[in-house]
């Protein structure tokens, strides 16, 4: 299985561990990815606040580039904000000939044409869909006893109802179970982290994140699939109370990589702003080649 790959800006800088662990896990699963040459910013959630046309032209440019190089190969996106922007232009161009013309007029000076024949897919969609069986088969170090809170965030779920239920998402739970983890049952997985309010109205973002942290206390890990969610959760981490260490915030492919037996250096655990020994020790466990069964740490699981 092959995809065109759009990493997006954050994965080049603050979320480098997301990019590196994604590529490593996909390689381990036998999925080929080819980065879109010369890609540029998708506009994030910022450009639409300034210029609507540009907020469509920027993602369309990247999809048009992918079409030029890779035809109708689906475009794989790990960042949720990038995913929504690319998906949005795919949807809008698909439903309105006028929008298609407007977007292509803007792309004309670039010598690019966007037709919409390459489907946009999110990394979680690939893990939970075509790759789920392969993940189960490749798990050599099941995350037995590890309580993981699946944090979906917003933009892979809303406003477009694509690969998961926006009100009761479950795809990440399925992936975590395939990796042998115990899924933390909570209802904050699809609540907003505050996104760019962290820069513009810091207090409001901190309140949003505080509610998420409160519901996650008791879990070992919060699993994320978005660099913005990851950054806001990590930077608004509550201070340690009474020596209680809260969950580590870890990108889903970092966890999958550990379950698949990749060394922690490969999944870049030390790049995360905060890492816990519970997660570090996962890569030191003895390996088994069958599915999740006995817990090597002797921790009772439910």
Partner 1 sequence: MSNITVRKQNGDFQADLHRIQEMVSACMQCGTCSASCPNVAAMDITPRKMWRMVLMGMTEELFKSRSFWLCSACYTCTLRCPRGLPLTEAVYALKRLAAGNGDSTQRRHGLFYETFVRNIARDGRIQEGRLVADYFLAAKNPVQALQYAPMGMKMLGKGKLRMPSFKKNGTLDGLFVPAPGEKEES
CA distance 68 to 163: 26
Cβ proximity to partner 1: between 187 and 300 the closer is 187
Cβ proximity to partner 1: between 45 and 136 the closer is 45
Cβ proximity to partner 1: between 72 and 165 the closer is 165
Q: Which SS3 state, helix, strand or coil, does residue 278 take? A: helix
User: Residue 224 burial by CB count (10 A; 0-12/13-18/19+): exposed, middle or buried?
Assistant: buried
If one counts every other C-beta atom within 10 angstroms of the C-beta of residue 131, the result is 22
Cβ proximity to partner 1: between 31 and 172 the closer is 172
Q: Are 183 and 176 in contact (CB under 8 A)?
A: yes
Cβ proximity to partner 1: between 231 and 259 the closer is 231
Cβ proximity to partner 1: between 48 and 134 the closer is 48
Q: Is 18 left (phi over 0), alpha (psi -120 to 50) or beta?
A: alpha
Site of tokens 């922690």: 264
Both tokens of 58, joined, read 């920027």
Q: Are 221 and 149 in contact (CB under 8 A)?
A: yes
Instruction: Supply the minimum distance, in Å, between the C-beta of residue 251 and partner 1.
Output: 13
Instruction: Supply the minimum distance, in Å, between the C-beta of residue 246 and partner 1.
Output: 16
Both tokens of 190, joined, read 């699809």
Q: Which SS3 state, helix, strand or coil, does residue 284 take? A: helix
Cβ proximity to partner 1: between 11 and 256 the closer is 11
User: Residue 7 burial by CB count (10 A; 0-12/13-18/19+): exposed, middle or buried?
Assistant: buried
Residues found near partner 1 in the complex (CB under 8 A) = 9-10, 12-14, 16, 38-41, 43-55, 57-58, 61, 106, 108-110, 154-155, 158-159, 161, 166-167, 191-197, 199-205, 207-208, 235, 270-273
Q: Are 163 and 125 in contact (CB under 8 A)?
A: yes
Instruction: Supply the minimum distance, in Å, between the C-beta of residue 206 and partner 1.
Output: 10
């Amino acid at each position: 299985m092959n995809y065109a790959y759009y990493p997006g800006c954050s994965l080049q800088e603050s979320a480098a561990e997301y990019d590196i662990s994604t590529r490593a896990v996909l390689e381990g699963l036998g999925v080929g990815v080819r980065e879109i040459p010369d890609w540029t910013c998708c506009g994030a959630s910022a450009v639409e606040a300034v210029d609507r046309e540009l907020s469509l032209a920027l993602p369309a440019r990247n999809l048009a580039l992918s079409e030029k190089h890779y035809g109708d190969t689906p475009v794989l996106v790990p960042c949720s904000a990038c995913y929504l922007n690319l998906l949005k232009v795919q949807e809008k161009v698909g439903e309105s000939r006028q929008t298609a013309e407007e977007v292509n007029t803007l792309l004309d000076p670039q010598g690019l044409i966007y037709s919409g024949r390459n489907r946009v897919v999110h990394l979680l969609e690939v893990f939970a869909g075509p790759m789920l069986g392969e993940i189960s088969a490749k798990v050599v170090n099941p995350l037995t006893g590890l309580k993981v809170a699946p944090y979906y965030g917003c933009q892979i779920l809303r406003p477009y109802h694509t690969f998961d239920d926006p009100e009761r998402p479950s795809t990440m739970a399925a992936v975590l179970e395939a990796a042998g983890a115990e899924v933390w049952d909570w209802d904050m997985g699809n609540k907003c982290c505050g996104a760019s309010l962290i820069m513009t109205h810091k207090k409001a973002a901190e309140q949003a994140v505080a509610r998420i942290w409160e519901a996650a206390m008791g879990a070992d890990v919060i699993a994320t699939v978005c660099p913005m969610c990851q950054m806001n959760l990590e930077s608004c981490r509550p201070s340690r109370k009474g020596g209680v260490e809260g969950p580590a915030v870890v990108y889903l492919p970092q966890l999958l990589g550990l379950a698949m037996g990749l060394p922690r250096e490969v999944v870049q655990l030390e790049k995360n702003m905060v890492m816990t020994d519970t997660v570090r020790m996962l890569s030191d466990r003895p390996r088994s080649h069958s599915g999740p069964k006995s817990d090597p740490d002797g921790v009772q699981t439910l």
